[in-house]
């Protein structure tokens, strides 16, 4: 819903008829759908209207063990024996099938996770397909990726993904792992497992040998069982810093190679010479679209003092025309918050912001009665030490601070336990280079934000994790490189 002083657009709802959902999903182990030994299932809910979508199997330790054994056997007997060119053929086939089913995958991603259809249709699914195409191309060229070096695959990779970009994070993990000759066991997030299960159907359709990809669904304890399994060679985790730290502790003293892609509190910096209207639109895109459910969301805005008033007024004006509502509506900018629990977390941070004394602005918009929705929220005059400026909120909440000099903003932006991404808005190229070299962030965007490409590596500094996904760098996470 938009605020009352703007007109309402006619609804433009995407049809859900294209999605074929089973009423119940089993575990995908060794190329077959297997009933969980736990004999328990959990519901998958549509956060936009709280309706029930399907029942999903809950894997316990015994199921995880079965999946790891299947992955080990497939690694030893089949996948590690294939040439890179053969592995590449399977990956290309998977990529093409994903592309053919892209509309169904996009609608399902929106139904299960609450993100606007515009986002899943134009960003998540095309990028996920492109990741498979990109790594399919590397499968027979690993020698070119690391010239003069010898390399070997690692074996069985355990992969754990979050709920904000379910299929895309799966692609970031599975595509390079398979290209490098490893087999995988993947645990999707409990609130968004459905596209991973559709992906299992795609693996079957592609004729991927049994056991090369296994999908074990469940809660955090399923993930913990996978991490603890002694026959796993590699763990790739994307999720919160708290769980990342637990996983790091669990890997100490084991053979397991680890990459962690964790949380963020990224700075978006507007200098006084920036093209202001573009910067305002960029700020909106960096934090409010996709409900702020983006690890690298530009959740801390820094505006140079001389233009601060003007930028804040423009931001408030722009927020009045943001459309919050049904994620299946093609006009929607902010869809549903992924889960009730996450909505409570965001509301809690909004109360923390108010109690810390920051000035709050929310546009006057009506939220749908059913489902989990949150108004876009600005906090002005935020103190550097306040919790809302330091902790990851993972929702459509932006803190605003001002600065006078470039030195000051570098110091403020870097004063964070995180270091995933940053944005810089300025017309001055030299300032872009200066700032991007001094900001402690894995990616720095200039005069844009949230731009992704499979050829470009992504990953964090400090408590945002270590290791890189994407690009040639992403291959090294799945290879033993011998010099």
Binding site for ligand NAP (CB under 6 A): 160-164, 187, 189-190, 219-220, 223-224, 227, 238-240, 243, 246-247, 261-264, 295, 392, 394, 420, 460, 464-465
Query: Is residue 338 within 8 Å of 346, Cβ to Cβ?
Result: no
CB of 262 vs ligand NAP, minimal distance in Å: 5
Would you say 88 or 113 has its CB closer to Mg ion?
113
- The reply to whether 109 sits near Mg ion by the rule CB under 5 A is no
- The reply to whether 193 sits near Mg ion by the rule CB under 5 A is no
| 3: DSSP letter | B
- The reply to whether 44 sits near Mg ion by the rule CB under 5 A is yes
> Per-residue b/e over 66-84, b at no fewer than 16 CB within 10 Å?
bbbbbbbbbbeeebeebeb
The one of Mg ion, ligand NAP, none whose footprint includes residue 44, by CB under 5 to 8 A per kind, is Mg ion
DSSP string, 70-96: HHHHHHHHTGGGS-HHHHHHHHHHHHH
By CB under 5 A, name the one of 120, 182, 191, 377 that touches Mg ion: 191
Give the active site residue among 119, 261, 392, 463: 261
Stretch that binds Mg ion, among 10-18, 79-87, 190-198, 472-480 (CB under 5 A): 190-198
- The reply to whether 120 sits near Mg ion by the rule CB under 5 A is no
The one of Mg ion, ligand NAP, none whose footprint includes residue 465, by CB under 5 to 8 A per kind, is ligand NAP
Would you say 126 or 220 has its CB closer to ligand NAP?
220
The one of ligand NAP, Mg ion, none whose footprint includes residue 190, by CB under 5 to 8 A per kind, is ligand NAP
CB of 469 vs Mg ion, minimal distance in Å: 24
Nearest by Cα to 299 from 425, 411, 448, 401:
401
What is the gyration radius of the CA atoms in the chain, in angstroms? Answer: 22
Burial class (CB within 10 angstroms; exposed 0-12, middle 13-18, buried 19+) of 101: buried
Question: Residue 329 corresponds to which tokens in the numbers above?
Answer: 């509506």
- The reply to whether 195 sits near Mg ion by the rule CB under 5 A is no
Stretch that binds Mg ion, among 7-15, 106-114, 132-140, 400-408 (CB under 5 A): 106-114
| 320-323: long-range pairs with CB below 8 Å, 24+ | 320/2, 320/3, 320/5, 320/6, 320/363, 320/364, 321/2, 321/3, 321/6, 322/2, 322/284, 322/288, 322/363, 322/365, 322/376, 323/1, 323/2, 323/9
The one of ligand NAP, Mg ion, none whose footprint includes residue 224, by CB under 5 to 8 A per kind, is ligand NAP
Question: Residue 345 corresponds to which tokens in the numbers above?
Answer: 């977390």
Closest-by-Cβ residue to ligand NAP is 223
Stretch that binds Mg ion, among 13-21, 139-147, 184-192, 393-401 (CB under 5 A): 184-192
Q: Left (φ > 0), alpha (ψ -120 to 50) or beta: where does 291 sit?
A: left
CB of 396 vs ligand NAP, minimal distance in Å: 14
- The reply to whether 342 sits near Mg ion by the rule CB under 5 A is no
CB of 45 vs Mg ion, minimal distance in Å: 5
* Residue 314 CA from chain centroid, whole number: 29
Nearest by Cα to 475 from 211, 146, 67, 102:
146
CB of 448 vs ligand NAP, minimal distance in Å: 18
- 261 in active site: yes
Give the active site residue among 203, 251, 295, 296: 295
Residue 429: partners with Cβ closer than 8 Å, 6 or more residues away: none
Would you say 53 or 383 has its CB closer to Mg ion?
53
The one of Mg ion, ligand NAP, none whose footprint includes residue 112, by CB under 5 to 8 A per kind, is Mg ion
Beta bridge partners of 463: none
Q: Binding residues for Mg ion, per CB under 5 A?
A: 44-45, 112, 191
Residues tagged active-site:
261, 295
């Amino acid at each position: 819903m938009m605020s009352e002083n703007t007109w309402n657009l006619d609804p433009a709802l995407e049809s859900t008829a294209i999605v074929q959902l089973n009423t119940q999903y089993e575990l995908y182990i060794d190329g077959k759908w297997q009933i969980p030994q736990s004999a328990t299932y959990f519901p998958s809910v549509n956060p936009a209207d709280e309706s029930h979508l399907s029942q999903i199997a809950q894997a316990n330790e015994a199921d995880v063990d079965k999946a790891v054994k299947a992955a080990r056997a497939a690694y030893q007997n089949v996948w590690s024996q294939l040439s890179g060119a053969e592995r590449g053929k399977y990956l290309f086939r998977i990529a093409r099938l994903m592309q053919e089913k892209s509309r169904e995958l996009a609608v399902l991603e929106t139904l299960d996770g609450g993100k606007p259809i515009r986002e899943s249709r134009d960003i998540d699914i095309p990028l996920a397909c492109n990741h498979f195409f990109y790594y399919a191309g590397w499968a027979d060229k690993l020698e070119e990726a690391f010239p003069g070096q010898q390399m070997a695959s690692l074996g069985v990779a355990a992969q754990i993904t979050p709920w904000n970009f379910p299929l895309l994070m799966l692609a970031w993990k599975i595509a390079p792992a398979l290209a490098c000759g490893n087999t995988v066991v993947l645990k999707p997030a409990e609130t968004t497992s459905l596209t991973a299960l559709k992906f299992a159907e795609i693996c079957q359709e592609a004729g991927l040998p049994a056991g090369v990809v296994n999908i074990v669904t469940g809660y955090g304890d399923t993930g913990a069982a996978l991490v603890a399994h002694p026959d796993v060679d590699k763990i790739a985790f994307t999720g919160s810093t708290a769980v990342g730290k637990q996983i790091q502790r669990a890997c100490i003293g084991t053979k397991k190679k680890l990459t962690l892609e964790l949380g963020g509190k990224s700075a978006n910096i507007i200098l006084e010479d920036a093209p202001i209207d573009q910067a305002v639109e960029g700020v909106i895109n960096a934090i409010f679209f996709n409900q702020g459910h983006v690890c690298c969301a530009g959740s801390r805005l820094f505006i140079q003092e001389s233009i601060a008033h003007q930028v804040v007024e423009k931001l408030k004006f722009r927020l009045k025309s943001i459309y919050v509502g049904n994620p299946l509506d093609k006009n929607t900018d902010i869809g549903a918050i992924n889960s009730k629990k996450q909505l409570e977390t965001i509301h809690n941070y909004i109360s923390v912001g108010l109690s810390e004394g920051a000035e709050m602005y929310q546009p006057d918009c009506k939220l749908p009665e059913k489902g989990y929705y949150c108004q876009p929220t600005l906090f002005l005059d935020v103190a550097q030490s306040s919790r809302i400026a330091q902790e990851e909120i993972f929702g459509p909440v932006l803190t605003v601070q001002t600065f006078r000099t470039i030195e000051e903003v570098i110091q403020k932006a870097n004063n964070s336990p995180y270091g995933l991404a940053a944005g810089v808005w300025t017309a001055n190229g030299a300032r872009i280079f200066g700032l991007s070299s001094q900001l402690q962030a894995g990616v720095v965007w200039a005069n844009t934000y949230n731009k992704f490409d499979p050829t470009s590596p992504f990953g964090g500094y400090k408590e945002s994790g270590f290791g890189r996904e994407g690009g040639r760098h992403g291959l090294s996470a799945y290879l033993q490189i011998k010099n």
